[in-house]
Amino acid sequence: MKPDPKALLDRLTALESELAQLGNVTDSTTLGALKTLLQQQQATAARDPKTSAIALLDRFLALDHQDQPGFPPLAQYKQQVRQFRTQVENASETDLPADVNQLLTGKHPVSQLLKAIDEGDNLTDAQWSSLQSVLVKVFGQAVSIAASRGKLYVATRQPQPAATPAAATPKPASPNEDLLMWGDATEKAAQPSAEPSDDEPLIVFGAKSLGIENQPGGTVPLNVLVHIQGLGDRQFGAREFAGTRGQSKAIEGLQLSFASPVAGLNIEYMAHLAGVGDTPWMSAGQYLGTRNENRQLEGFAVRLVGAEASKYSVCYSAHVQNMGDTPVYADGQFCGSRGKSLRVEGLRVWVQPKA
């Protein structure tokens, strides 16, 4: 089969961006010289795990989206990676964090996301399926979808992490946080509260769990799609804040589904739409609302159905115009307002087993 010129050009462009980070590579560099340089880099990496780990972390920090510069779904993870980078940089060669080995052997989620970006086109269907299941559980739907569509790339100019004194440590986890963690901190992660705070990352990193087991507290992976006024459809995962704050942009539509089927369990949802009133209950995967009609969603409710529904709770909250963040509602309770012309600007939804 004749190679696709566009696909080859895209791969060459991505490769050029990565090679530029090696240094000493110019347009006149021959393939032989490039091979020698790469071999030298590989040998150096084998001797210097600290430098190699920092290089991997820098590549993660340089990730960006082709269509959405600054890609917000990655921002929270980059903050935690910056903190961990500082720990690695300040550690001695003989006392590196345990996660460094996981990074260098490709077992850590940071390495696996980079693998998806670097090798996605060359992976078999089975390899990609296995890798994507990890990305969904760790980074959520938005990042996973962007990686699978080839939208993420390593920018040529990497952002430099802010300098942090050697004695500085990341903010400790409060009992209500599901922090993205490293090393033994994974074992100390507390059980999730009813509602995560706005600034908390949504996954757990660590040498033992690698962040790829169940989501916090057994949260069931969800696909959460919202249509944001003026921005269009956006995809999120369980517990992720889906929408905006302070931008006067309404949620105009909603679609929920499980990322993977759960035996005996389904999800339904309804909403109160401006000028329409209460909608019927919709089943998983059905779009509820409008698009590009400036018809805002003012409230909503979510419930679980099926033989196993009694074993789970669906929890949700919203950010409502002039009201701010609502309390957490659950299992069919109405969240928001009716007839007050107050738009829902963002929401969170998650499903978790009952105690």
Domain map (residue ranges) of the chain: 5-24+34-154, 219-353
What pLDDT, on the 0 to 100 scale, is given for residue 10? 65
pLDDT tens digits along 107-145: 888 888 888 888 877 778 777 777 877 788 788 878 888
Q: Is the pTM of this model over 0.75?
A: no
Residue 284 above 50 pLDDT?
yes
- Across the range 320-339, mean pLDDT stands at 92
Q: What confidence score (pLDDT) does residue 196 get?
A: 38
pLDDT of 49 higher than 60: yes
Looking at the chain, list the stretches that DSSP marks H as alpha helix, in order from N- to C-terminal side: 5-20, 31-47, 49-61, 72-90, 99-104, 109-119, 125-139, 141-148
On the question of pLDDT at 7 being above 80, the answer is no
Q: Check residue 24 and give its pLDDT.
A: 55
Indicate whether 173 pLDDT > 60: no
Res 300: pLDDT: 97
Residue 165 is predicted with a pLDDT of 38
Cβ burial of 56 (10 Å; 0-12, 13-18, 19+) is: buried
Percentage of residues in the chain having pLDDT higher than 70? 70
Mean pLDDT over 233-258 rounds to: 91
Tell me the C-alpha to C-alpha distance, in Å, between residue 328 and each of 103, 104, 136, 200, 349: 37, 41, 24, 16, 10
Centroid of chain to Cα 184: 22
Distance CA 4, CA 12 (A): 12
Res. 256 pLDDT band, cuts 50 70 90: very high
Whether residue 106 is predicted with pLDDT greater than 70 in this model: the reply is yes
pLDDT at 16 over 70: no
Task: Report in angstroms the alpha-carbon separations of 242 from 77, 81, 92, 215.
Answer: 16, 23, 41, 18
Average pLDDT, the chain: 76
Per cent of the chain over pLDDT 90 is 30
pLDDT at 90: 85
